DNA sequence: TATACTAGTTACCTCTTAGTAAGTAGTTAC
DNA sequence: GTAACTACTTACTAAGAGGTAACTAGTATA
């Protein structure tokens, strides 16, 4: 039974790497938004309606240091900034799909089993 | 461009359902641990070495109310309690796999690209 | 009688996360 | 000159997530 347990503990360690990147209220929403195309600061804000500029700015920086997204400044007037997924960010697509798939499944299950509400 | 944006916003709403269930430091680790077989309180604690009994108890309750896990009490001596995944909890297997897959990919990328450290 | 096992609970404290509101800077249009 | 657009930043505050340590309860063993 010790070998089985080592496999479990190893997986728990790997999961922590992923969790450190996606943990928090806003990181996955930002990644999902950018998964639908490169976007400017204001466009992301309009997708995620209840995020404040402070949190968006802060989380974009965190995702940039984790090499998930890239910031590109365009010298237009007024200045525009475009955010896009890096290849590493794009490699999360399957993970995002599973989050969405399970979310749909979860909602269906919850609605089916609860006659109340 | 409005249709594309509506799809994006809809996905963001679905993602929130999933995030509400898995958000936090300990929920996914607990689910991963139980994905490797039914376990007792103490066994989960031994898998996730740095979780405190308070947090484990608290998060197990949250997962139970979300119908992800089940608590079964055995009237042995001393009393033992077994936690197991519900069908809904088991339906997260694909999602867990993607979290692990991406964690492995992320670690490989980080080690490859950073010559420092 | 004291220790150990099971599975937790409780009180208190700290630290991080997130929210609010206002301000900044550069350019353009009225 | 004033408002509006871009993309933020800053300071202050509130909430809650999580950590620590000690305690509970029931049974069994030395």
Nearest nucleotide to A81, CA against C1' atoms: D7
CB atoms under 10 Å from CB of A114, counted, come to: 9
Burial class of residue A112 in the structure, from the number of CB atoms within 10 Å of its CB (0-12 exposed, 13-18 middle, 19+ buried):
exposed
pLDDT digits (tens, 9 = 90+) for B21-64: 999 999 999 999 999 999 999 999 999 999 999 999 999 999 99
Contact B106 A18 (CB under 8 A): yes
Q: How far apart are CA A101 and CA A103, in angstroms?
A: 5
B55 touches strand D (CB under 7 A): yes
From chain B, pick out residues whose CB is under 8 angstroms from the CB of A106: 17-18, 21, 88
pLDDT value at residue A113? 75
**Own/partner long-range contacts of A65-68 (Cβ < 8 Å, ≥24 apart):** A66/A21, A67/B109, A67/B110, A67/B113, A68/A21, A68/A31, A68/A92
A81 touches strand D (CB under 7 A): yes
Mean pLDDT of the B77-105 span: 96
Q: Which CATH class is domain B26-113?
A: mainly alpha
Q: How far apart are CA A87 and CA A96, in angstroms?
A: 14
Block means of pLDDT (10 residues each) for chain A, 117 residues, are 82 96 96 97 95 97 96 87 97 98 95 64
From chain A, pick out residues whose CB is under 8 angstroms from the CB of B95: 95, 98-99, 101-102
B103 touches strand C (CB under 7 A): no
For B80, phi then psi, to 5°, come to: -120, 150
pLDDT above 50 for B12: yes
| Closest residue to B12, CB basis, from A12, A29, A104 | A29
Domain boundaries A2-113, corresponding CATH code: 1.10.10.10
Nearest CA in chain A to B30: A12
Angle, CA B35 vertex, CA B15 and CA A1 arms, to 5°: 160
A82's tokens: 């475009």
Contact A95 B98 (CB under 8 A): yes
- DSSP character string of B102-116: HHHHHHHHHHHH---
């Amino acid at each position: 039974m010790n070998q089985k347990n080592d496999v479990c503990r190893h997986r728990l360690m790997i999961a922590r790497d992923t969790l450190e990147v996606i943990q928090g209220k806003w990181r996955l929403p930002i990644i999902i938004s950018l998964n639908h195309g490169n976007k400017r600061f204001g466009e992301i804000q309009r997708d995620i309606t209840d995020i404040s500029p402070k949190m968006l700015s802060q989380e974009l920086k965190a995702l940039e240091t984790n090499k998930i997204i890239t910031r590109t400044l365009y010298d237009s007037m007024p200045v525009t900034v475009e955010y896009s997924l890096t290849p590493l960010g794009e490699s999360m697509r399957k993970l995002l799909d599973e989050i969405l798939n399970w979310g749909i499944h979860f909602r269906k299950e919850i609605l089916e089993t609860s006659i109340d509400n």
